[in-house]
Structure 1
Amino acid sequence: MARHLSARQLHPVGLDFADTAPLRLVFAADLGVPVERVYAALAEELETWPCWFTAVTELRPTGGGQGRDVRLKGGGFFQETVLAAHPAERYAYRIDRTNAPGVRAMLEDWNLAHSTAGGTRVGWTMAVDGTPALRAVLRLGKPGIGASFRDAMRKLERRLRP
């Protein structure tokens, strides 16, 4: 991906930001797919994200897998650093640079657990610090973000089922 002139450097945050951010959007879904398979799709098969998470148009690893470059529909992009890659358990990354207006710091945290039905319970936390206007927009947009997450999980489950 080409460098973006309008990119802004965000404040670096650690994994604790998932619990302490000024705004946390938390979603969960149950998939009828083994947890190991879901983790592989999230953390190892990055090129497949646009097939199941339609907000993503391109995703590629950087830094030998320590980072990610992400393009979104509408022209948004993120340059990210992977903070946690614990197989079948957790995958989290911090956004370091973006062209999204109003963002000061951002982290996305995916947590996986075996569900009682034998599949996977997927938890996704979007942790954000930003301007009051951005936080208001994200709060108002939570139902749409949740719908996008649920749609992505349905598509991922269909993709991963044998």
Structure 2
Amino acid sequence: MAHRLRPVELDFAESAPLRLVFVAEVRSGPAAVYRALAEDVEGWPAWFTAVTSARPTAGGAGREVRLRGGTRFQETIMSAEPGERYAYRVDETNAPGIQAMLEEWRLTPTGSGTRVRWTMAVDGTAPLRLVMGLARPGVGRSFRDAVRNLDRRLASAAA
């Protein structure tokens, strides 16, 4: 059963009780990475294998995302800064224990491409925080695999 989460603002990415932060680099520039994140929402399952479906909602102001295992999210886009930042707040989910959640993607140009930093900011019950802490290595691996897949996808699209 889906439940509504506490609405949070962008500063939650820095102040959440639990923050999972991961960094990777891709060969493509920030503009191409941003397009894949923010403008090709329906393309996420092609590179982020934990995502089974993603679609824009509310005329592009929101997203509906489904993950493997049946977890669903209704989200509101909080920041869409081309080539720099893409962030969304989870408003509703069927995942138990989550009370507030925001994800932020920061893009920084490097000499050879883009540094991608993903922050998953969460507040929830004590059991959820424990499970999320224990899941950190697996979430990090999923992120690194996704960014590697995205890098390949963007490189083949540019060729």
TM-score band w.r.t. shorter chain: over 0.9
Could you tell me how far 1:34 is from its partner in structure 2?
Answer: 1.0
Deviations 1:109-152 (A, max 9, x none): 000010132x0000000000000100000101100000000000
Question: Which amino acid is the alignment partner of residue 12 of structure 1?
Answer: P
The partner residue of 2:139 within 145, 152, 159 is 145
The partner residue of 1:67 within 43, 46, 62 is 62
What TM-score does the superposition give when structure 2 sets the normalisation length? 0.97
**What count of residue pairs does the alignment treat as equivalent?**
156
Q: Find the counterpart in structure 2 of residue 25 from structure 1.
A: 20
Question: Which amino acid is the alignment partner of residue 108 of structure 1?
Answer: E
Q: Find the counterpart in structure 1 of residue 116 from structure 2.
A: 122
- Percent of aligned pairs with the same residue? 62
The partner residue of 1:57 within 26, 31, 52 is 52
The partner residue of 1:97 within 70, 77, 92 is 92
Runs of 4 or more consecutive aligned structure 1 residues displaced over 4 Å after TM superposition: none
Q: Find the counterpart in structure 1 of residue 38 from structure 2.
A: 43
Q: Which runs of 5+ in 2 are unaligned?
A: none
Distance 1:7 1:143 in 2: 27
What TM-score does the superposition give when structure 1 sets the normalisation length? 0.95
Q: Find the counterpart in structure 2 of residue 11 from structure 1.
A: 6
Distance 2:149 2:132 in 1: 24
Could you tell me how far 1:22 is from its partner in structure 2?
Answer: 0.2
Question: Which amino acid is the alignment partner of residue 153 of structure 2?
Answer: R
SS at match of 1:82: strand
